[in-house]
Every structure is written in structure tokens, then in C-alpha cells.
Structure 1
Amino acid sequence: MAWKSRTRNLQVFDTELSADTVEWCPVSSHHDILACGTYQLQKGTGEADATTSRTGRLYLFEFRREGAVSPPLTELQRIDMAAILDMKWCHVPLSGKAVLGMAAASGELQLYTLSNSQEGGRSLHSLSSLEVGVERLALSLDWSTGRMDSSDVRVVCSDSAGCVSVLTLAECGLTALSQWKAHDFEAWISAFSYWDTQRVYSGGDDCKLKGWDLRAGPSCPTFISKRHSMGVCSIHSNPHQEHILATGSYDEQVLLWDERNMQQPLSESPTGGGVWRLKWHPTHEHLLLAACMHNDFHILHCKQALEGSGGPCPIVASYILHNSLAYGADWSRLSLEEPAPSSPPAAEPKKSFTESGGHLRIQYESPTASFDTSLEDDAGRYIPEDITPPSTTPPVGPVINLNEDASSQSCLLASCSFYDHMLHVWRWDWAPDDAQQC
């Protein structure tokens, strides 16, 4: 049975500073809470002033379903701080509270707790912080709790010096358990295996994907893959299916892996843009959300690839209303059984390159400011020097039946884009042909 599918914008919020990370709270009592982090590089104005500073702001929102009159997002809090490169909620409450971790340009891993006020509102409060190294940026983090397991709560963090750190949260605050040099250049991403939390993965600007076993120590990685042709910047372990790993790179490819055989990926899917973030759906094991920098946000259906077809994963839905680099994206666990309020989109969908006759050339800026140059071909794709641009386009297959038993389903998502400093909240609806659309 064929399925109909559509994405709809619900609200657009101007974050004022460049937005690069969004995260819905996974703790059951706070599924309506959304956090958004920003990053702004401030350069010196004169020839004699070569200083740079990186500032940011953390936003906290509540998603309210009060009908079609009021916008669904309500801002609860904003905190000015060092630029935020990445953030993740701990998947389980700690001491009864939701905890948000942030990788900051100050080189710190920062933790905040979400607390209820006497007036009934909610806000974030600083819990602990730890500097992972001097004169470096913390670039990413991941919690070991992806399968909602609270037995061994740890955090892995990567930084601009190419190091990976593993930390734990004790009564006295964050404590470093180990740190090692993992990559020759920036270690863009680090992640736990959610099925064996003694194993972590890292990806760097040296184009390498590596695995590490914390029981054996960091002296030698368990594997080194050079399958990606450019910097590896996204890794996510599948919390539903053991051994399955998704990785993304500036080379515009999403690779699916069986971690028992890291010599060859299960699937390779071109996306038409550098893959900055990947997120498996919290309940549907085959759905993968990709933030593709110069080519918007896409939802991939990975069932056939994981069953051994070997082909690319079809894109079953795309969200194209952003007008700048697609960086942050996340699924909400909030139910959308009732029709959600809808506000008009802030802008018309972007025209295709053939329709527009050209594109706005965007200056690509490394988050670490190690390079700052125009790295695009005529179609707006990120292309480094001496790399031939790919001629492939993202695979767009037939919309796939995701759940035979349901007449319709909806997902709530959030995404953010960099230079236009925009946060979007949107929904994805799908239904069989013979069922009424949401």
C-alpha cells in the first residue's frame, strides 16, 4: 500500500545568533521541552585587532497545544554564555531531574538541571562544568543512556585538539575518567555504543572514523575506517537494533554500519549536502533524520538497507523551508494525535537550482575558525580543493509503508539553520491512500 507524506511548518523563531543545535527533552515528564543553542564568531574590526570571541545563547522553550490561535512555542528562558557547539539531554533523569549537557567554545562540558519553580514554570540551573582542555573548543557530546538505561551514566566529549574525553557525574560534580588523542585534527563527533557502553566512536577532520574499547584503554583503537572521503562529523548508535551505527560526513554520504564488520558499510546514501547531524527516531527503528548543511533536512527510511539490500536508503520526506546551513535537528517524543496548531511559514520553499538559475554563495566557516573560505560548487555544495564534485542526487524512492496497522501517524520535529539564525518547529504526517490526511 502506498503512503502519502507531507511536512508542515508550525512555527519559526529568530534566535538572533547563528543557531546550530536543537534538542527535545527525552525525559517522559518533559517531552514538551525544547532547547536550542547558538554560536556566533566575533572577529576583531581592525588590522591590528586579530582577536576572536565566540559567544552563544541557550534558549529553553515549552511546546503548548492550545489551538490554532497561539503559536505553539513559548520561550521559558534564555541564557547568554560561551558559544554552544553541541548539546544533548541525558535520556534518563538524574536525581529525579532532567539534565542537559553542552559542549562549549570555552572548552568546557557544562551540565544544567531542569527544575520546576514554585510558580509552576520550568527553568535550567547550572549543575556542574569541567574544562576538557586549555585553548580548545568542546565540539560534541553523547550520553551512555541512549537505551534509557540509568545503570552507568557517563558522557563522552570530543574537542578541537582531536581529543576524546570520557566523564562521569559524581556527587562532587563532573569527573574525567580518561582522555586521549584520537584524531590528527578536530574531533568533530564522539558517541557511545548504546548496546555496549564500554565502546565509543569518534570522527574527525582527518577523515577517519574510529572505535574505542574503554576496557582495553585508548592506546589502540578497535578499528580505523577511511571509508568517508572527508571529515566525519556525525555518528549515532541505533537504540533499537543492536550493532547498527549511522555516520555522516562532509563528503555528503550517510553510511550505515554493522559494528561487527567495519570493513564495509551496509549502505551508502548520497544526500547532496555535508551531513552535520544524524538522529535515529526514538520509537521507529528504521527512520533516520539527517541535517545536510547545504541541502536541507531529510528523513531516510533504512529498513531495506538494514535487511541487506545494499542499496541507498530512500528519502521519504524533506523539510526545505530553511534558507541557510542545516545544522541542528531532532525528533520529539511528544504525541501529535490531535491536529497541531499551524502558523504560516516565514518564507516560501527554496526554488531548485534549475528554477532559480543560480544560488546565493554562502561563506563556509569552520566552527573552530581553522579555515574560512568559500567552498562551494555552482550548485551550492560544499566542495574542498582537489575533490571532484559528485554528480549524484539524493535518492528519492517511493514513500514506504511505515506501519501497516495505523491509519495515520505524525511526528513533531525541530531544526535550526546557521547564518539566518532560525529555529523551525514542524510536523511530518503520513497516511495510507485510503485514509484521511491529518
Structure 2
Amino acid sequence: MQAKSRYYESTELSADSVESHPCLPYVFAVSTYQVDQDPAQSTEASPEYSRRGRCKLHRVTPGEAAACTTLDAIEGEAILDAKWTLANSACGEHGYGMLGIADATGYLSLYQLGENLAFTKKAAWRMNDEKALCLSLDWSDRTKMGASDASVIVSQSNGTLATVPSLHRAEPHGIETWHAHDYEAWIAAWDCWSGANVAWSGGDDLALKGWDLRTPIHDGTREPTFTCKKGFDGGVTSIQSHATRQHYWAVGSYDETIRIFDARNPRRPVADAPVGGGIWRAKWHPTNENALLLGCMHGGVRIVEWSPDAPIEVVCEFDQHESIAYGCDWERGAFRGADMPGASYVYSCSFYDAALHVWAWA
């Protein structure tokens, strides 16, 4: 199936992240990472540049020709990743959760979404002292609506991972940091079945690693529970634990192959398939346990289906992005397109063409 865009908008700045709100229908956040060079020094070998970003909160009116309204916007540092948490400690008395934003200056900023669907900045946590970029983040309550609290894990450009065990404090109390990868740690994600005890990470060193946070850190290092380098021909860039099939993980790489791993034997994948582009993001469908959404960079956006008794199959392609397709997410608040029974809405964005698209998979 070839999907067609139902709505297009210029994001103005280079777009790299899309995150659907977990419970508000048709509400999602799009984040950007813009590099501005100094024109006066454009002839130098290493011209001066600055980085900036924006996060915009949108609401879609679904339909064959969808409409989109901007609810709020945050201006600030260049953004690498953003994720929602609905933990009670994040919601406040009458809020709709909190958006964590990982930026290029090494900060994780926390923005609470109020009843008026506007952001309020609650904290800015410095995650490293080395001017390293925060590359990705994940909250431990992704599948636990209304959890009392949430832990966060952040991957960083200096190869480290950092965790904060609680949202209850304005400062990152109890932060743990350890060296995980020899180059950029592109991605880190919680095992959503582990209660914030187990996480996986991937890096530009072509390594997929598992971590048990109950093990101690010595001299800035922690022993991984496993390391898998076999078969990767590019950096490991995307990871997500399956919310309804315990033990299964989706793992994407620059090598254009999606892999499914079983945590009970993580040394090699149980399934793999080429998808025609490096996989920056991989996200399981909120209700269809076989469907997996992939941001395939130069290959556009793909949807694949997989089950333990069937191979991976590409079932939908979206090719209207004219540049690197980084960010993508399923509609999560409504799950289904009201005008198309059985359809799922998808939000996706691309980088150099600064494009946002809304489309549907029927």
C-alpha cells in the first residue's frame, strides 16, 4: 500500500521528532533541530554556527483533507528527541502530563501541559558536564497510564547513558551516568515490563547492549547484561520494547535493516528484513500488536507487520517526504481515524525540507 498525505505543513526549521500525546485525541508535538551558519564566515573551512530548535503542539481535525491547528510552541535549543509521560508526578493537579525534551546543549527540559493545552516549563536538568548532546530519552511509564512516578533514561553523544529515578524533584536527584558505547549512544529505551530496572541501548559502535540498573557502577562503567555486535553493518539507532508481547524488541540501524530480538536470547535477532533506509525511529502500534512504524530516513516512512509465527513484511510505504524522514508516530489518543473505520493516523516529519505530513494507514 502507498499512503497519501492528508495534510502538509512546513515546519520552517529542520524537523526530526514527532510524538503523539498518549491520551488526548489527535494532539502531537513536532520538534526541530536547526543549524545556522554565519554568512560572514561561510568561506572558512570551519565556519561559525549556532543551533536552535522549536517544539510545536498541534491538534488535527481528521478527514480526507485533514486540518491542523497549532496549540502552543516552545522556542529554544536544538532538539534531538522528545517524549511524553503521564505519571501523576508529571501531571500536576489538572494537567495532561509532561513532555521531556532532549537538546543539543546537554539538557533535559520538562514542560507540563496544562488544561488550557499550553506548556509550562517546570525544570531543566543538565545531564552531563562535557557539552555532549542529549540524543534520546525514554520514560519508564510508557505503558502504565497513571503511574505514581516515572524514571527517565537519556543517551548522549559522548557514549554515556544517564538515568534519573524520579520526577518528584526539581533537580535530577539520584542521577546515574555510565560509559556505555565507544561513540555516540544514539538510543536508549526501557524494557516496559521491567519496572525501570532493565534498559537497552544502541550506539555508533555497531553495538546493541542490555543493562540491569540494579548492578553497581564502578569508575563510571557498568557491566552490560549482554552485548550484540553480530550482523550490524551500521550504528544502532532505534529501539523499542513491545508493550503486549513480553521479551520482544524492535531494533533499527543505519544499515537499513529492522530486527526483532527476543530478550531471552538477545545474541541474535529472531527476525530481520531490509526496509530501504536507515531506521531512525521504530514504534509499535498502540493496539495492533503486529504493526511497527519506521522512520527510514532516505527511504521515507514504512509500516511493517511481524508476529512470532510470521516473517517481517512491509505493508505500507509513505514516500512524500523529500528529505531525511526522522520523526514519526502513530495517533495514540484516538487510535482510529473516525472517518475511516479501521484506519490509523500517522504523523511524520523530515529534515532538510522541513516538512510535516499527516496520513492514514487503512
TM-score, length of structure 2 as denominator length: 0.90
Structure-to-structure mapping, 1:1-150, within 5 angstroms:
7-26=3-22, 28=23, 30-45=24-39, 46=41, 47=44, 50-65=47-62, 71-93=66-88, 94=90, 95-96=92-93, 97=95, 98-117=97-116, 122-134=117-129, 135-148=131-144, 150=147
Question: Among 157, 161, 164, which residue is 1:160 paired with?
Answer: 157
Structure 2 counterpart of 1:330: 329
Cα deviation, residue 6, structure 1: 5.6
- Kept in 1: contact 2:21–2:84 (CA 8 A): yes
Cα deviation, residue 116, structure 1: 2.2
Structure 2 counterpart of 1:189: 187
In 1, the alpha carbon distance for the partners of 2:303 and 2:234 equals 22
Q: Give CA-to-partner distance per residue, 1:122-143, whole Å, 9 cap, x none.
A: 2111011111113111100001
Structure-to-structure mapping, 1:385-404, within 5 angstroms:
none
Structure 1 counterpart of 2:176: 178
Structure-to-structure mapping, 1:300-319, within 5 angstroms:
300-303=304-307, 306-307=308-309, 309=310, 311=311, 313-319=312-318
Question: Among 262, 268, 272, which residue is 2:272 paired with?
Answer: 268
In 1, the alpha carbon distance for the partners of 2:173 and 2:47 equals 35
Code of the residue aligned with 2:75 in structure 1: it is D
Code of the residue aligned with 1:15 in structure 2: it is T
Identity %: 39
Structure 2 counterpart of 1:221: 224
In 1, the alpha carbon distance for the partners of 2:64 and 2:4 equals 14
Cα deviation, residue 68, structure 1: 6.7
Code of the residue aligned with 2:223 in structure 1: it is C
In 2, the alpha carbon distance for the partners of 1:31 and 1:268 equals 33
Cα pair distance change 1:322/1:337, threshold 3 Å: closer
- Kept in 2: contact 1:91–1:143 (CA 8 A): no
Q: Give CA-to-partner distance per residue, 1:383-422, whole Å, 9 cap, x none.
A: xxxxxxxxxxxxxxxxxxxxxxxxx511011000011000
Structure 2 counterpart of 1:200: 199
Structure-to-structure mapping, 1:324-363, within 5 angstroms:
324-333=323-332, 334-336=334-336, 338-339=338-339
Root-mean-square deviation (CA), in Å? Answer: 1.8
Structure 2 counterpart of 1:403: none
Structure 2 counterpart of 1:292: 296
Question: Among 341, 348, 358, which residue is 1:415 paired with?
Answer: 348
**What runs of 5+ residues in structure 1 fail to find an aligned partner?**
341-407, 430-438
- Kept in 2: contact 1:130–1:175 (CA 8 A): no
Cα deviation, residue 335, structure 1: 4.5
Cα deviation, residue 44, structure 1: 3.7
Code of the residue aligned with 2:228 in structure 1: it is S
Q: Give CA-to-partner distance per residue, 1:223-256, whole Å, 9 cap, x none.
A: 0110322111100000111000110110111110
Q: Paired residues, what number? A: 345
Cα pair distance change 1:335/1:258, threshold 3 Å: closer
In 2, the alpha carbon distance for the partners of 1:271 and 1:240 equals 24
TM-score, length of structure 1 as denominator length: 0.75
- Kept in 2: contact 1:104–1:138 (CA 8 A): yes
Question: Among 283, 290, 293, which residue is 2:287 paired with?
Answer: 283
Cα deviation, residue 33, structure 1: 1.4
Cα deviation, residue 280, structure 1: 0.4
- Kept in 2: contact 1:165–1:176 (CA 8 A): no
In 2, the alpha carbon distance for the partners of 1:338 and 1:31 equals 11
- Kept in 1: contact 2:337–2:344 (CA 8 A): no
Cα deviation, residue 92, structure 1: 4.3
Q: Give CA-to-partner distance per residue, 1:84-141, whole Å, 9 cap, x none.
A: 0011111545335311011101110111011123xxxx21110111111131111000
Code of the residue aligned with 1:153 in structure 2: it is A
**What runs of 5+ residues in structure 2 fail to find an aligned partner?**
none
- Kept in 1: contact 2:227–2:267 (CA 8 A): no
Cα pair distance change 1:68/1:191, threshold 3 Å: closer
